[in-house]
Amino acid sequence: MIKITFYLYKKLLFIDVDLYSSLKTCLQFIWSRLASGCYFFSHEAQDVPFTSLFFNKQWWQTHLVSKAPCFVGVDMGLLLGIGEGSSIGYTKKIS
């Protein structure tokens, strides 16, 4: 028997999934478990097709019954003083 424990992520969640299909799966499973105000970080900020999902209003409404949250750091990642961007970006769940 497999036991799955569901947590409510309250402050911060970081993913590094690499694949667009994996991002969709993670969002469908995790987004509803994020508390309002929780930051959702990803290591794929420089991958514009990957981050474009965070702006896709239709996908968010269809799959998560939510507004698309957008994404900070698209294309360059957050400027953390380590070269030309960090590949890290984020969004924040607002309920």
Between helices 20-30 and 57-64, what is the axis angle to 10°?
A: 50
Instruction: Give pLDDT tens digits along the chain (95 positions).
Output: 555 555 677 899 999 998 999 999 999 999 998 999 999 999 999 999 999 999 999 999 999 999 999 999 998 888 877 667 788 999 999 97
> What pLDDT does 82 receive?
64
Q: Are the C-beta atoms of 91 and 37 separated by less than 8 Å?
A: no
> What pLDDT does 83 receive?
67
